[in-house]
Amino acid sequence: MTTVLTAPPSGSALPDSADGVRHVIVLGAGLGGLTAAIRLRHRGFRVTLLERHAQPGGRCGLWESNGFRFDTGPTLLLMVDYLRAVFAEVGRPIERYLDLRQLDPNYRVHYADGTTLDVTSRLNGMLEGLERIEPGVGPRFLRFLSETARLYRLGLDGFVDRNVHRRSDAFSPKHAALLLRARAMERLQRLVRRYFRTERLQHTFSFQSLYLGLSPFDAPAIYGLLPYTEVAGGLYFPMGGMHAMPRALARLAEELGVDIRYRHDVRALERSAGRISAIMMADGRRLEADLVVVNADLPYAYETLLGEKHPRIDRLDFSCSAFLMYLGVRRAYPALTHHALVVPRDLRAACSDIFGGRIPSDPPYYLCNPSKTDPSLAPPGCENLYVLVPVPNQQAGRELDWSVAGPKLEEAMLERLERFGLTDLRRHIVARRTFTPADFAHQFSATHGEAFGLAHGIDQVGYFRPHNRHASLGNLYFVGQSTHPGCGIPMVLISSRLVVERIAEEQAVRQ
Ligand SMILES: Cc1cc2nc3c(=O)[nH]c(=O)nc-3n(C[C@H](O)[C@H](O)[C@H](O)COP(=O)(O)OP(=O)(O)OC[C@H]3O[C@@H](n4cnc5c(N)ncnc54)[C@H](O)[C@@H]3O)c2cc1C
């Protein structure tokens, strides 16, 4: 068992013992747990971080094989200012921890008719590419950017980037009026159809809701803010891979004095007198704390760790899942970009399969080749491929046997990738692994094997998403993708800032 125990840095202004200093246990070293731990420690709490796996990052994990280093989860780093903010808040230059590179293009979209579009944050380049697909679209695209910029500000200021657990905060007449005026609740497809005539561009500027595990054909227009963040804010990559991010955060946490303990599986939260009194470890040990912040998936935390059902669990909707393939290949594919999105002939039909419980016969998929930006992620002459296919979650009544479906889908995807242009792919694979919804359930305690946590329909965001503090256990808080504001790296980083602000406010009141 690896236990990493670190003393607070000498000369630190932070209190470092239990003499009057409140002790917080953070359960889970995902990006939410790591950044909550950093922020709490910076505010003077004594912090212990417990993680069941041997490495930090949770879904932002790493798999190494035969000299290949695969990021296992997130690959697109957007809204990078929220990451910079974590380091800035504790007065550390991010450059000392991470080498972030802006990508150009952001990604390449491959359409079924063989045409492509490079989505880039260089406006001229973007306009040129769009004109090739839809002549005359330039001014309409600029108006689309301006409308989605408004949605971005409205979404972030009004609902995402602040605590909304009080009804009065969530339902201000001012924000309701702004939402109505911005047509934020109309269909996303309606929004894109106002600006783009070709189906190709309508898909290009709406598929991003899939990042949240939400069908672009069911999503509300407010999610038009996602393509805006890509074009306006750009896409970044940490050299060393996405997993460099949780590693850097774990290093920062330890430097500040957070006591990180890997391979520490929590089995239960013990309660008494309306509070969590202790954490029970799987090996039988009992750890006491003044406050507990849970980064594990919230429905699992309620059901398994607390032994109670979330009051709305039976009505909660879960995001779709993902079938992932990590392929180390002994050759290069020069035509590939770092990020590529492959759109099928009928995206609507594919989405209706995914969200209706079936694996589509012609699915959209995303292909990542990070060795294009950082060759050190694969041995010389080799490349590192990551394939993500959105697939149904395992919600009751639609469970698939992934021990059968997985190998079939893997073979179908390898064939598809060869047809797509990855010539002789199968002959060149030297490292391979798949990850299925069954693995999400097993490794991350995802209730229905979903990849992206709770769904992000309008009835499950803001005030309607499970709140970041338990309703009756006053010292139990939640951080991460299943609480407010939701899934995705920037959202999870926001969630940690919001929960720490709430803790500071509520615990100051109590003392
Ligand atoms: C395949 C995939 C691709 C994605 N792509 C992107 C992307 O490109 N860009 C983007 O911004 N977002 C992306 N996301 C979403 C993003 O990765 C997540 O929203 C984010 O990483 C979730 O972080 P978290 O801290 O909420 O939870 P997690 O990462 O799930 O962390 C929770 C932690 O709690 C630990 N834990 C759970 N139970 C226990 C227990 N009982 N005892 C101890 N520890 C426990 C887990 O081991 C884990 O480390 C993707 C997600 C997936 C799955």
> Among the atoms of ligand 1, which is closest to the Cα of residue 495?
26
Q: Is residue 386 lining ligand 1, measured as CB closer than 6 Å?
A: no
Residues 415 and 431: their CA atoms lie apart, in Å, by 17
Task: Find the angle CA(255)-CA(260)-CA(261) to the nearest 5 degrees.
Answer: 155
Q: Is residue 51 lining ligand 1, measured as CB closer than 6 Å?
A: yes
- Ligand 1 centre from 184 Cα, in Å? 28
- Ligand 1 centre from 131 Cα, in Å? 38
pLDDT digit string (tens) for the chain, length 511 residues: 223 223 333 333 333 444 577 999 999 999 999 999 999 999 999 999 999 999 999 999 999 999 999 999 999 999 999 999 999 999 999 999 999 999 999 999 999 999 999 999 999 999 999 999 999 999 999 999 999 999 999 889 888 888 888 877 766 777 777 777 778 788 999 999 999 999 999 999 999 999 888 899 999 999 999 999 999 999 999 999 999 999 999 999 999 999 999 999 999 999 999 999 999 999 999 999 999 999 999 999 999 999 998 888 788 899 999 999 999 999 999 999 999 999 999 999 999 999 999 999 999 999 999 999 999 999 999 999 999 999 999 987 888 999 999 999 999 999 999 999 999 999 999 999 999 999 999 999 999 999 999 998 888 888 889 999 999 999 999 999 999 999 999 999 999 999 999 999 998 755 5
- Ligand 1 centre from 156 Cα, in Å? 22
- Ligand 1 centre from 191 Cα, in Å? 31
> Among the atoms of ligand 1, which is closest to the Cα of residue 451?
53
Q: Is residue 81 lining ligand 1, measured as CB closer than 6 Å?
A: no
Q: Is residue 28 lining ligand 1, measured as CB closer than 6 Å?
A: yes
| Residue identifier of the C-alpha nearest atom 52 of ligand 1 | 73
> Among the atoms of ligand 1, which is closest to the Cα of residue 78?
11
- Ligand 1 centre from 411 Cα, in Å? 27
Q: Is residue 494 lining ligand 1, measured as CB closer than 6 Å?
A: no
Q: Which of 489, 496, 500 best tests ligand 1's pocket when mutated (most atoms within 8 Å of CB)?
A: 489
pLDDT at residue 12 in the model: 35
SS3 427: helix
> Among the atoms of ligand 1, which is closest to the Cα of residue 481?
26
pLDDT at residue 509 in the model: 59
Q: Is residue 295 lining ligand 1, measured as CB closer than 6 Å?
A: yes
- Ligand 1 centre from 243 Cα, in Å? 12
Q: Which of 59, 214, 366 best tests ligand 1's pocket when mutated (most atoms within 8 Å of CB)?
A: 59
Residues 425 and 192: their CA atoms lie apart, in Å, by 36
Q: Is residue 325 lining ligand 1, measured as CB closer than 6 Å?
A: no
Residue 30 burial (10 A CB sphere; 0-12, 13-18, 19+):
buried
> Among the atoms of ligand 1, which is closest to the Cα of residue 58?
49
Q: Is residue 74 lining ligand 1, measured as CB closer than 6 Å?
A: yes
Q: Is residue 33 lining ligand 1, measured as CB closer than 6 Å?
A: yes
pLDDT at residue 457 in the model: 85
> CB 505: neighbour CB atoms within 10 A?
10
> Residue 11 — left, alpha, or beta (φ > 0 → left; ψ -120 to 50 → alpha)?
left
- Ligand 1 centre from 440 Cα, in Å? 10
The amino acid that residue 413 corresponds to is M
pLDDT at residue 19 in the model: 52
Partners of 325 in beta bridges? 387, 434
Q: Is residue 50 lining ligand 1, measured as CB closer than 6 Å?
A: yes
φ/ψ of residue 51, rounded to 5: -135, 130
Which residue's structure tokens are 């009505």?
A: 315
Q: Indicate the length of the chain as a whole number.
A: 511
φ/ψ of residue 260, rounded to 5: -95, 130
> CB 13: neighbour CB atoms within 10 A?
7
